[in-house]
Amino acid sequence: MTHNKSYWREKTEIPDFESLRYDTESEIVIVGGGITGIVTGYMLAKEGRQVTILEADSLYSGTTGYTTAKLTAQHGLIYDEYIQHFNTDTAKTHYEACMDAIAFVKETTAAHGIDCNLTKQDAYVYTKEKQNVHKLETEHEAYQKLGIQGELSDTIPLPFEIEKALIMKDQYQYHPLKFLNGLLHVFLDNGGKVYTDTPVDTIEEGKDTTVVTKNGLKVTCKKVVVASHFPFYDGQGFYFARLYQDRSYVVAAKPKNPYPGGMYINADTPSRSIRSIETEEHGTLLLIGGESHRTGEGHPEEMYYKELTDFAAYLGTETPIYMWSAQDIVTLDNLPYIGYISKGNDNILVATGYRKWGMTSSIVAGLEIASLIDSGISRYKNIYQPSRFHADPDLGSVTKNVMEVAKEFIVGKLEQPYEYVPHLKRGEATKVRFNGLLLGVYKDENGEIHQVDTTCTHMKCEVNWNSAESSWDCPCHGSRFTGTGEVIEGPAKKPLKKLDRGLNS
């Protein structure tokens, strides 16, 4: 089984576009060709705006193409947390925003005839542990305060016993890439432009706002939307200290018995997520996700896939057909950052920090950003504004995040190398210390050895080898690099330094 083989991307025809080859102008530039960028572009182009989308890779190549694609307002146990950390109005506004996202998908699929396998499902949060029952009961009380329709149950339709479940009715699941292809068609019909394989380096601020690509090409515009997952441009927002990145895993397997329906997530550790998809090739498949951990930390990644495969077998499935992983970004207070990139800067907007609920939150982001650009008015009472700061829990979260980064920085610099280079098999990598420097040594599938400096080019932490996905991952801020050092995911912009000498000298 090949890791990081996503069903969505494997079985969807993804449109190709040319890369940007000349300087140009556009009223609005959106950096990022995932669901946030496409939804935002659709909303703005429909209102007659001149919009250009710049994507560093192919469309949907980021988290959008590696999701479980639940369209729901039930994001684990969050509403009591939001009431306690913010207030009742913020929690209710977030719920209403998520329901707006569901309504948006229903309305646009109907209006444009988009077939994206949109199906209504009940959403369940369940626990198998007695000590967690009170968490579900407290969350149910939050539902009642906010007017959310939900109910507690002692059973769920899945083939195992639980202690308690909290059900949210009338939620949805869909095929995200089919949906986005439909929106993209409308976007292009309304004059929108898309350039892929066009990585952006920075934004130049001044009388005019200019987006500068890594090839030095410039797009002059009035507004920029940073929808690049981790913001590639900080804009004095200090996002490197206010965000961290988290990896989780998915296996897709055929159930041996009929699936009873529903979308599920547990309230226990380790995390488990379950939903179904209907496919032409295999019939019903179950998407089983979980095993979340901070990027660059934790156990060897194969262990996480094994745990999910074992859980799939426990549910009564055949051997998984697909396996993939995703990287999610988490904010200090678990509420997304959507709005102006920093206080007083209304020419650059950002959307990030969806935790593990990007299929809903990214649509919320598109609706919110379109409203801010069109009218200057927040659709959702500014609850997502990135410049917000709350003493509880933000101050403690900043300190914890900074301490985690400091720990990884120190541990990385003092770590011992893994093993001796001649033991490497093709597709494997290791670290060795040579003349006091930690080298990353990778043997590609052709047997060629590549050497890189394992110092992350973002803020100088030490990257670790991710054996499941053949990447160097940074535990400090979540940057990821190929075995040969090229950037896969930011915030790093530059590749790892390649070493021509080192062990070969």
CB of 288 closer than 8 Å to CB of 243: no
Query: What pLDDT score does 327 carry?
Result: 87
Q: Give the pLDDT confidence of 152-190 residue by residue, as tens digits.
A: 999 999 999 999 999 999 999 999 999 999 999 999 999
Quote the domain boundaries for residue 472. 415-504
The residue among 257, 332, 327, 343 whose CA lies nearest residue 293 is 327
CATH of the domain at 420: 2.102.10.10
Same domain, 286 and 376: yes
Answer yes or no: do 385 and 419 share one domain. Answer: no
Q: In sequence order, which residues have a C-beta less than 8 Å from that of residue 212 and are 6 or more positions away?
A: 200, 201, 202, 203, 204, 218
State the pLDDT at residue 460.
87
Structure-block tokens of residue 225? 């939307």
Is 138 found in the same domain as 266? Answer: yes
Q: Do 253 and 319 contact (CB within 8 A), yes or no?
A: yes
Do the domain assignments include residue 399?
Answer: no
Q: What is residue 295's predicted lDDT score, i.e. its pLDDT?
A: 76
User: How far apart are the C-alpha atoms of 330 and 353, rounded to whole Å?
Assistant: 5
| Contact assessment for residue 242 and residue 236, using Cβ atoms and an 8 Å cutoff | no
- pTM of the full structure: 0.84
259 domain-assigned:
yes
* CA dihedral of residues 107, 110, 111, 115 (deg, nearest 10): 120
Those residues whose C-beta lies under 8 Å from the C-beta of residue 476, and which sit 6 or more positions away, are 296, 404, 405, 408, 409, 456, 458, 459, 461
Which segments of the chain have a pLDDT < 70? 1-3, 298, 389-423, 435-436, 500-505
Total domain count, the chain: 2
Predicted local distance difference test score (pLDDT) of residue 409 = 40
- 455: amino acid identity, one letter: T
**409 lies in some domain:** no
- Pairing of β 119-127 and β 263-266: parallel
Q: Residue 185, CB half-sphere, CA atoms under 13 Å: how many?
A: 13
Residues 399-420: pLDDT tens digits? 454 445 444 444 444 444 344 4
pLDDT for 194: 98
- Indicate whether 119 belongs to any domain: yes
State residue 11 phi and psi, 5-degree precision.
Answer: -110, 20
| Same domain flag for 257 and 327 | yes
220 near 204, Cβ under 8 Å?
A: no
Residue 456 and residue 362 share a domain: no
One domain for residues 193 and 255: yes
Confirm if 339 and 376 have CB atoms less than 8 A apart: no
Residue 317 sits in a domain whose CATH number is 3.50.50.60
